[in-house]
Amino acid sequence: MGTILLILGVALWAGAHLFKRLAPARRAALGEEAGKGRIALALLAAILLMVIGYRMAEPVWLWVAPGWMVHLNNLLVLIGFYLFAVSGLKTNLHRRIRHPQLSGFKAWALGHLLVVGTLQGVILFGGLLAWAVIAVIMINRASRDWTRPPEAPIWKEGAAAVGALFAMLVVGHIHGWLGPWPFGG
């Protein structure tokens, strides 16, 4: 039952995010505010389904990652946090990467996919990675033109790095309270 809930959660996450691209007329008919509210509720439901399904599912082990892979995961997660900060601060790196948030999400998902060697890990992290790849492709096809953000002060890069480190430590400790300790050892 847990694996089914997990699959439903990943599907709802992808469907809610891609709804505007897959059914633009239906999304527009919802209206701006009501549409955002419904999508937010769908995403909240997706997260709940993914968490409950993942925690309920009996793990089906496909591989056991070597210990050093935890460090690679942590590097990819840190890169993910940094790319989210790059997007929020509109740093100069954002001038080179069109979709920093989705790129960061892909780094996070790939890192977790490498270290969580269960069928449920493949469904969750592989499914979310597939969604992020499809989202980038669909956005780029819908809008080939991209206006790069303006030049940004260099301090924003440093602020993004500090923010990413801070987020990594906070989220890592919360991760350790709720599940496995993410920093090895």
* Domain boundaries defined on the chain: 1-58, 59-185
Res 183: pLDDT: 87
Give long-range contacts, CB 8 A cutoff, 24+ apart: 18-27: 18/131, 18/134, 18/135, 18/138, 21/138, 21/139, 21/142
- Cα–Cα dist 150/159, whole Å: 17
Q: Which residues of the chain have pLDDT under 70?
A: 185
- Cα–Cα dist 88/14, whole Å: 22
Res 28: pLDDT: 87
pLDDT digits (tens, 9 = 90+) for 54-83: 999 999 999 999 999 999 999 999 999 999
Res 50: pLDDT: 98
Res 83: pLDDT: 98
